[in-house]
Amino acid sequence: MLDQLLAPKYVGWLIDGFYVTLAVSALASAAATVLGLLLCLARLAPTRWLAWPALAWLSLFRNTPLLVQLFFWYFGLAALMPQGLLEWLNTPHHWHLAFFGVRWPPFEYVAGFTGLTLFTAAFIAEEFRAGVRGVPPGQAVAARALGLRPWQVWRYVVIPQAFRIALPPLLGQYMNAVKNSSLTMAIGLAELSYASRQVETETFKTFQAFGIATLLYIGTVAVIELAGQWVQRRRPALGAVR
């Protein structure tokens, strides 16, 4: 029985990979939410100078595979960059901001984060747009009638409501970000899938390596799902307080 277990060292590799998966997908989700909101606003802007580029951007990132996008950012874009820039990106940099030391990550992380963020943002923008469409138009009209400026209408009336409508699908996109982060192993980012392949390389314990990785992914997605249900359940209560 014991010889079928993974040695602590390899479990450690998987845990490290899991941290990277969590960090990359959390950071990408956060950045994609901000970017997605901006893209959604641009897409809905009254001027076509904003709306059309946003539309083109959205369909480009939504209609091509993440894997190909990652290959492009990592192998393709790097080939276009001036030599010096990439060397700078690849050498470790340290900054000291107050109490925190900030370390510049290797290019795999930059490319993986960029790819995942841009891909996820395009989907999040569409979820927001659906959310905005779900806000009854009378709300905006009423807010205008109350004397709010257009940006205030968005800031205080439309976006908060749209955000609530969009929350469940938004959480779905965060789950996708966690799962999609597994593709970054193709560009050498040492996340969970990468770690499971490495453990397999050294130990040949294919079941154990992939099994643990799969359980960690499913566990993470389940936690997001449960968090979503918890928020959903609290929502009516929130509404009642107001």
Applying CB under 8 A, does 145 fall inside the site for other proteins? no
User: Out of 23, 31, 50, 71, which residue is the one contacting other proteins (CB under 8 A)?
Assistant: 71
Q: Does 65 bind other proteins (CB under 8 A)?
A: yes
Here's the x/- map for other proteins, 101-140, by CB under 8 A: it reads as -----xxx--------------------------------
Closest separation in Å from C-beta 120 to other proteins:
13
By CB neighbour count within 10 A (0-12 exposed, 13-18 middle, 19+ buried), where does 115 fall?
buried
Distance CA 79, CA 71 (A): 11
What value, to the nearest 5°, has the Cα angle with vertex 57 and ends 55 and 61? Answer: 120
For position 144 contacting other proteins by CB under 8 A, the verdict is no
Q: Which amino acid is at 242?
A: R
Residue from 68, 102, 142, 146 that binds other proteins (CB under 8 A)? 68
Q: Which of residues 151-210 bind other proteins (CB under 8 A)?
A: 175, 179-180, 182-183, 185-188, 190, 193-194, 197-198, 200-202, 204, 206-207, 210
Q: How far apart, in Å, are the Cα atoms of 141 and each of 145, 154, 234, 239?
A: 6, 11, 29, 22
Residues between 75 and 94 that touch other proteins (CB under 8 A): 75-81, 83, 86-87, 90
Q: DSSP string spanning 145-206? A: HTT--HHHIIIIIIHHHHHHHHHHHHHHHHHHHHHHGGGGGGGT--SHHHHHHHHHHHH--H
Which of 162, 109, 120 lies closest to 32, judged by CA? 120
* Binding residues for other proteins (CB under 8 A): 1, 4, 59-60, 62-69, 71-72, 74-81, 83, 86-87, 90, 106-108, 175, 179-180, 182-183, 185-188, 190, 193-194, 197-198, 200-202, 204, 206-207, 210, 213-214, 217-218, 221-222, 225
